[in-house]
């Protein structure tokens, strides 16, 4: 597609359930990023992919969070045993190769609410 797409747009789940969030980057972009936007923490980095590898997972808040990328394209962020503090907007971005001066293109986000 023309831009970064994310699904679902909104997700409501019960505490303790697992959720999967999907990101489709711009075709040809090797770099893919996940960020989280919450009221208390602002916009924070979660994980970076270069191709299918994740050289930096330092932003993942706990071992309940994991992510993978397959075929150098689609990425899935999985949150296991969700907690109420996981409620946030999860944003995905992609850039051509991950260089420091490149433009990151953001998707519309997935709004997650954990009840």
Q: Of the two residues 80 and 105, which places its CB atom closer to another protein in the complex?
A: 105
List, in order, residues 6 or more apart from 31 with CB less than 8 Å away.
48, 49, 50, 94, 95, 96, 97, 98, 102
100 contributes a contact to another protein by CB under 8 A: yes
> Which residues are registered as beta bridge partners of 21?
77
**Calpha distance 108→84 (Å, rounded):** 22
Q: Of the two residues 61 and 80, which places its CB atom closer to another protein in the complex?
A: 61
Stretch of 11-19, 21-29, 73-81, 101-109 contacting another protein, by CB under 8 A: 101-109
Select the residue interacting with another protein from 83, 102, 113, 115 (CB under 8 A): 102
Binding site for another protein (CB under 8 A): 31, 33, 35, 42-45, 48, 50, 55-56, 89, 91, 93, 95, 98-106, 108-109
């Amino acid at each position: 597609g023309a831009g970064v797409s994310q699904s679902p747009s909104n997700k409501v789940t019960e505490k303790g359930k697992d959720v999967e969030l999907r990101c489709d980057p711009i075709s040809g972009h090797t770099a893919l990023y996940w960020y989280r936007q919450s009221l208390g923490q602002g916009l924070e980095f979660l994980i970076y992919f270069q191709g299918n590898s994740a050289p930096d997972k330092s932003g993942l808040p706990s071992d309940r969070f994991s992510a993978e990328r397959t075929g150098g394209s689609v990425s899935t962020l999985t949150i296991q045993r969700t907690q109420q503090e996981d409620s946030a907007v999860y944003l995905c971005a992609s850039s051509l190769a991950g260089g420091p001066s490149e433009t990151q293109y953001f998707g519309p986000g997935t709004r997650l609410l954990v009840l």
